[in-house]
Chain A
Amino acid sequence: MSGCGECKGCSTGGESKIKNADYTIALAGNANVGKSVIFNQLTGVDQIIGNWPGKTVERAEGLLLHKGKRIRVIDLPGIYSFSTYSMEELVSRDFIALEHPDAVINVIDASALERNLFFTIQLLELAPPLMIAVNQIDLAEKKGITIDNAKLSTLLGVPVVPTVAIRGKGIPALTDAITGLMQDHPVPPVLRYGKEVEERIGKIISLLDTVTTPYPVRWTAIKLLERDPAIVQLINGQAPGIAETAGSLAGEIESIHGEPVCVVMSAERYQIADRIAAEVITMRSPGEGPQKKSLNDKLDAVALHPVLGYLAIIAVIGGLLLWTFLIGAQVSAFLTSFLSQFEQYEPVVSGPLMDILWNGAFTGFIAGVTLVIPYVLPFYILLAVIEDSGYLTRISVMLDRGMHKLGLHGKAIIPLILGYGCNVPAIYSCRIMETPKQKTLAAFLVTLVPCTARTVVILGLVAAFVNIWWALALYAFDILLIIVAGRVAFKVMPGESVGLIMEMADYHIPSLSVVLKQTWARTKSLIWIVFPAYIIGSAVLQGFYAAGLLNPVNDLLAPVTVLWLGLPAIIGITLIFGIIRKELTILTLAVIFHTTNFATVLSPVQLIVLALVSMLYIPCISVILVLASEFGWKKALAISATEIVMAIAIGGIAFRVLGLWM
């Protein structure tokens, strides 16, 4: 589940950022096989993480210097097949077929050879210069699995290098093999399917003389037989009859095997994979090896236990949040007092326009620094550790049932947890969901999760001046609201949802490089989107302030703020400021009231209502931008509008209900 990719926006236009590369190579393989670790080992720090052009799929590339050559390394998404199940699969196969990398390294997990070879077989059909890194051989050895690499190399006709990437073992051999591969260009033998399938592939190949595609002929024939929509469309554009013939050949296979042709092909590939695996694997017989429960099983006995499992989740997530905010508050206070030596947050209302704007921009920058470094960064580092250890998949399994209530499944817990740091990377991480409906739904719910900025508001208003229990009650209410909003949105939104199908990788000690890379990928989107929004937004607001637009705005909003929500009219402008940066609500309030002791100016009910409304009323401007880039403006604005209405309604009700006994 690692490397799901939340960053975006740095590499636009699709052209490579790494200039003057002599060669381009790609890493391909299943998820959870240590592909990212090998990528990090090969490329070091020189990495660019962006998007595939026009797609919401992460693209990571780096530079490998080897024997004086500059080699561009592309880390393809972790996938299990080249069907059209997901955008990741389409992007990967088009990269290999159309951009002709000089070498493709297929990273495979030694412990699950069959499943990995299933993908290798499909890679071979695309016919790039291919080699294999059999990774995690140490873990396989522990399970009693030994792989004959030389034999595997002979059977597949490609170089095979054993590695333990996490400890750097086999990486020099791998780089040597890459150079070797680019010089030798070995031609691997064709792996043949069963007779019925092979005959029909032959027939289709003979028809393909008249068309030209960028793909290998045999691969095109196989995809036509599988009724692959993209390839059928491509061929139909050139010679309409062929796909039809292929379709009827596929129909013949379906009536022989009695299954959809794509499933027949999967079964055929697994047959080949099983055969190869059986030839190269030596299993230590159960008598010799240690038969006691592995550490993995022991951990799972707790993590997936019907009672202990939930306690573990509460402990881990609670610990994560507590750690972040206890540490964060200290560091933030320190940073703020340190930075306030340079500039005070005080709207400048007179002087040259440039000074006013500069003042705004600078305070925006400070706000970003005092939020991101103390809160978001530690949160994401610890979360990446939890994620890389494999525990997050267990949380997904345990909470799957509950997430069904929100119309989602277990995996969606990842964006939701990420949301407590900052909503922006959390929304990017909604890409791990399968269908467009589930992606949008998850993103909508993420925007209801109080991020660190909103936590600052809740803690600063309610925990500080009412009491901590009311602050916690607001969090509890928020979770309840997410559940209700999820259920309603699930019913209202069109589209399909699919259930959880997820690999349960073994636990392992988190790798520092993967943790740092993941943290960076997430924090980076903050720097590219949140910081500019903070800086520009603050400057603009400062301009507004100077232009004397505050009172008219307050008056305009008074019916809502004063009459319905029971707040002072001055709150109107703080709520407008809050759209730019949620924590500005509190800062502006301090400036306007000339005090940081809000208890003297607002009643407890007002404090709670204000915190509640700030928590819900609209995603901040960065979030709206990200929603628009991931889902389009229509959905971004629909979500924002829904939340404004919801927050005002709930705030007004809260004002009246709380007023009864406070």
Chain B
Amino acid sequence: MAQEQVEEYLEAIYDLESRNGSAKTTAIAKCLKVAPASVTEVLKSLSDKGFVQYEPYQGATLTEEGKKIADTIKRKHRLLEVFLTDVVKLNQEKVHDEACRMEHTISEETEDALCRMLDAPAHCPHGSPISPCNKGVGSCAECDSAGKTDMPVAIRDKKIIPITDLNPEQKSRIAFIRGDCKVVQRLSDLGLTLGTNVSILKKTPMGGPVEILVRRTKLAIDHAIAENIFIESPGPGET
């Protein structure tokens, strides 16, 4: 099975799963415009490779491994959308389809270069969040300087999520802050340095500020800034 096909399937399952909880065979077929029978076949093969969990008649869900690949593809897709919209100024209607084709072919190196050139955008032109890369860097400035000196950057081994995804009373450590130097400086002056334990106290509705606790200090932080503060994903049992 071609890599591109694998990626297309994982992406479709990712979308359906986040919308409906799981991806039904018929839904996948409709989404990818293929026959349901061939979907079943592909799902079996994806399941053998360990990318999805597949129960006949129940539909498929992504495994950790599958989610990782889908995440990367989504990131490439949305970065490309920003690039095609902001730099190439392509017609809005064509952006999605074009990105759909390009996402499978660009290398990781190109993905990084795109991210740097576009100043690490947080959202695609349609408003969906662009997840941060999985590099072992603490900030975009670091990635920038690494890009200039061709310094090899290690890959982060833990999954990271925006602090806004944390549930109240959960705790984790800051892994990465995306944003311009002034904001990063301000946050670190207030105690949000890398590796610091933080927890969420309150989220306000409709994308209002989040209240976080760091070093015994309570801070209210704008939602858009908080979305760019990434933390190590706490395991399911941890609080």
Contacts and interface: CB of A to CB of B under 8 A. Distances in A.
Given A258-B138, A263-B193, A398 B208 contact: yes
Nearest to A304: B202
B208 A113 contact: no
Contacts of B205: 306
B219 A260 contact: no
B220 A396 contact: yes
B160 to A, nearest CB: 15
B142 interface: yes
B206 interface: yes
Contacts of B142: 254, 258-260
The size class of the interface chain B forms with chain A is: 35 or more
Nearest to A89: B189
Contacts of B27: none
B211 interface: yes
B219 A266 contact: no
B26 to A, nearest CB: 38
A499 B222 contact: yes
B38 interface: no
Contacts of A410: 209, 220
A397 B208 CA distance: 7
Contacts of A506: 218
Contacts of B187: 501
Contacts of B185: 83, 85, 260, 262-263, 266
Main secondary structure on B side of the interface with A:
mixed
Interface string A92-124: 000000000000000000011111001000000
A488 interface: no
B20 interface: no
Contacts of B141: 254, 259-260, 263
Contacts of A87: none
A401 B206 contact: yes
Contacts of B193: 263, 266-267, 270
A300 interface: yes
The size class of the interface chain A forms with chain B is: 35 or more
A409 B189 contact: no
Given A259-B138, A259-B141, A401-B207, A112 B217 contact: yes
Interface string B214-238: 0111111111110000000000000
Interface string A407-425: 0011000000000000000
A502 B190 CA distance: 9
A503 B208 contact: no
A501 B138 contact: no
Nearest to B149: A255
Contact of B211 (A113, A258, A304): A304
B139 to A, nearest CB: 5
Contacts of A257: 138
A468 interface: no
B222 A501 contact: yes
Contacts of A263: 138-139, 141, 184-185, 188, 193
B190 A500 contact: no
B204 A266 contact: no
- Residue among A260, A393, A502 with most chain B CB within 10 A: A260
Interface string B149-183: 10100000000000000000000000000000111
A391 to B, nearest CB: 13
Interface in A366-402: 393, 396-398, 400-401
A503 B191 CA distance: 11
Given A85-B185, A258-B146, A270-B191, A401 B208 contact: yes
20 contacts: A83-B185, A114-B217, A115-B190, A263-B185, A266-B193, A267-B188, A270-B193, A306-B205, A396-B220, A398-B208, A400-B222, A401-B206, A499-B183, A499-B221, A499-B225, A500-B209, A500-B220, A502-B219, A502-B220, A504-B220
The 6 A-B pairs with the shortest beta carbon distances in the complex, nearest first, are A499-B222, A258-B142, A266-B188, A81-B189, A504-B218, A267-B193
Given A270-B193, A501-B219, 13 more contacts: A258-B139, A258-B142, A258-B146, A260-B181, A267-B193, A270-B191, A304-B211, A398-B204, A400-B209, A410-B209, A410-B220, A505-B218, A506-B218
